[in-house]
Every structure is written in structure tokens, then in C-alpha cells.
């Protein structure tokens, strides 16, 4: 069961099936043999038919299954769907959760990585968590050391807090959480690229609140940076968030922000869809396309498949 690529088909109300089809046309036959979808055979078949995609799907029971020819293999989440692109939130949630539970189980037992196609966070049962936090909980990660790393070959960014409201950010950052996440990044870069990454960390406040005594920069971020430097980690900061992406980003491998949009907003402006979302610190490697469900363009053939294709090639080259 080794050297397989598990792809969770994700949110049914999305362009995921379009992107899967477009990637399938781009990859070679040896890579196709490694790919196993987790999803509803009934749903994907109906979506491909609705979109007029000439692709054959074979239902299989596990990752050991071999299929003759070039059929796309799917491990079936046995749910039926009437309208393949207008699925209720209740049914969508059940579908997505069942798919993620099975993918997690298979990843643990087979030592393979997971790609999950786009999923609305509303389907996960808690508005404050995404797939990153969901899988961290499944893996019993209790010290907040899991990391969301958005990766492009030129730069990576990582937010300390992920899917929470801005008003809660200040209360959710502390020295231990920041330190644990940065150590996870350090270990991963050493293992994957055999290098000590050049890290930058941003302040929370505009202009770092001019480093006032009671600012988060003075109380939390600067002491954490000093501690990490003593451990031999190459980190600079806190840098000012409103200028770092103008030119200074070229000096770093990873820019670490305090909240989601602080780093993902400018990063996506720079690299568009040419990036992948990697979760570090799990018991397996998990990646996902760096975009949402794009339900507004279903059936319009406008979906950009490049991020999903990057995910497939990344997992093909990397293990945990």
C-alpha cells in the first residue's frame, strides 16, 4: 500500500471534480496508478457526466486494488445524490466528514499522504476550524505544534493562528505556541531540504505598535525570537507587516505572521494559484490546493487546476 496518493474529493458543491479531471489529463500513466480518490462513486460519476467529461471510474475497496487500463480509482463513500452540484449542507457535511475520517485512517495505516480538495469550513461542524485543525485533532496533536505552511518554490508563509476571528488573535498567541510552531517548521525544512531555513516573523500591530512596553511585540514576540535564536534558529523580527512583502521577503524562506490574512493576502496576490497548503506536524503529510470551493463557477470550465497538480507532484516526491 506504499507510494499511493490519497485524494479526498472534498466539498460536493465545488469545482473539485473539474480540477481532478483537468489534472488527470496532465499526469502520466505511472502517476495515475498511484492515485486513489476518497469520495462517492455515485456523486463523481454524475458530476463528470454533467460536465461531459470522458473519464472512466473504477470503484475499489482499498489501496491494494489494481485496475486494468487507465481508469480513475475511487474508494467509495457509499452515499447517493440526486442533484450532484446542489447538495444540502447536512448531507455535504456527512459526506465530507466520512471522507476525511476514512482518509485519515488509510494514511495512518499505509504511511501515505493525503490531498484534500477544497472544503467549506462550515461543513466541519465548527466555524473556527479548518481541515488543518480537524486533522491535528484526529492525530492527537495537543501542543498546538501543527503548522499551516503555504508553499511556493520562491517563498512560504505561515500564520500562527488560522481560522479564528481577528478579535481573538491577541488572546490566542503566546510564547509557547509561537515557539512550538517555528520549531516544527525548522525540523521539517531540515528533514525535507537539508537546510536551516531563513525565517522572518511579523509583529501583530501596525508598525509593531512602535514597540510599546505593553504591546504583544514586547511581551510575547521579541522574547520568543530571542529564545529561538539561542536554540540556533535563524529568525529575524518582529518585522513590520505592511512593508515586508515589498522587497524584504526575498531574503527569507518563510515569513510567519500572527493571523491568517496577514500573510495569505499578500502571498496570494503575488503567486495566485501557484502554491499549495501543507500541514506540518501531523502523523502523515497532508496537502491541499491553496484556494476555496469556487462554487460560483461550477460548470463554466474556468477552474485553475495548477494548485491541485502541484499537490499531486509534491506528494509524489515527498513522504512524511
pLDDT of the residue at 224: 96
Task: Output the nine-digit C-alpha cell for 263.
Answer: 500573510
d(CA 149, CA 115): 14
pLDDT of the residue at 1: 59
Q: Examine the pLDDT at 67 and tell me if it is beyond 80.
A: no
Residue 251 CB-density burial (10 A; 0-12 exposed, 13-18 middle, 19+ buried): exposed
| Confidence at 319, pLDDT banded by 50, 70, 90 | low
CB atoms near residue 318 (< 10 Å): 13
Q: Examine the pLDDT at 320 and tell me if it is beyond 70.
A: no
Rounded to two decimals, the pTM is: 0.89
Domains, the chain, with CATH or none: 1-141+283-320 (3.40.718.10), 144-281 (3.40.718.10)
Dump pLDDT digits (tens) for 23-37: 999 999 889 999 999
Dump pLDDT digits (tens) for 95-147: 999 999 999 999 999 989 999 999 998 999 876 678 988 898 899 887 677 89
Tell me the average pLDDT of the chain: 91
Our measurement of the distance from residue 143's CA atom to the centroid of its chain's CA atoms, rounded to an integer in Å, reads 19
| Confidence at 211, pLDDT banded by 50, 70, 90 | confident
Q: Examine the pLDDT at 162 and tell me if it is beyond 70.
A: yes
The answer to whether the peptide bond before residue 258 is cis (omega within 30 degrees of 0) is: no
Amino acid at each position: 500500500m506504499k507510494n499511493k496518493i490519497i485524494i479526498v474529493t472534498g466539498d460536493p458543491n465545488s469545482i473539485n471534480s473539474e480540477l481532478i479531471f483537468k489534472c488527470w489529463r496532465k499526469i502520466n500513466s505511472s502517476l495515475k496508478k498511484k492515485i486513489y480518490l476518497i469520495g462517492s462513486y455515485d456523486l463523481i460519476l454524475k458530476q463528470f457526466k454533467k460536465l461531459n467529461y470522458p473519464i472512466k471510474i473504477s470503484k475499489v475497496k482499498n489501496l491494494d486494488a489494481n485496475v486494468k487500463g487507465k481508469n480513475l480509482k475511487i474508494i467509495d463513500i457509499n452515499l447517493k445524490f440526486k442533484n450532484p452540484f446542489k447538495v444540502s449542507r447536512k448531507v455535504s457535511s456527512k459526506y465530507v466528514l466520512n471522507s476525511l475520517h476514512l482518509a485519515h485512517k488509510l494514511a495512518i495505516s499505509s504511511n501515505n499522504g493525503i490531498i484534500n480538495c477544497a472544503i467549506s469550513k462550515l461543513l466541519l461542524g465548527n466555524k473556527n476550524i479548518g481541515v488543518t485543525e480537524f486533522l491535528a485533532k484526529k492525530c492527537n496533536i495537543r501542543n498546538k505544534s501543527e503548522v499551516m505552511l503555504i508553499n511556493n518554490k520562491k517563498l512560504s508563509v505561515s500564520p500562527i493562528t488560522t481560522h479564528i476571528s481577528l478579535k481573538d488573535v491577541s488572546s490566542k498567541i503566546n510564547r509557547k505556541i509561537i515557539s512550538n510552531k517555528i520549531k516544527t517548521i525548522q525540523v521539517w525544512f531540515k528533514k525535507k531540504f537539508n537546510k536551516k531555513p531563513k525565517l522572518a516573523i511579523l509583529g501583530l500591530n501596525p508598525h509593531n505598535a512602535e514597540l510599546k512596553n505593553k504591546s504583544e511585540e514586547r511581551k510575547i514576540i521579541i522574547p520568543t525570537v530571542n529564545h529561538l535564536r539561542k536554540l540556533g534558529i535563524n529568525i529575524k523580527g518582529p518585522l513590520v507587516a505592511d512593508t515586508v512583502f515589498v522587497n524584504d521577503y526575498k531574503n527569507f524562506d518563510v515569513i510567519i505572521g500572527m493571523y491568517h490574512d496577514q500573510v495569505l493576502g499578500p502571498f496570494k496576490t503575488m503567486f495566485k494559484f501557484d502554491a499549495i497548503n501543507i500541514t506540518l506536524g501531523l502523523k502523515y503529510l497532508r496537502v491541499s490546493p491553496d484556494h476555496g470551493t469556487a462554487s460560483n463557477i461550477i460548470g463554466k470550465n474556468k477552474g485553475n487546476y495548477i494548485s491541485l497538480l502541484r499537490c499531486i507532484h509534491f506528494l509524489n516526491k515527498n513522504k512524511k
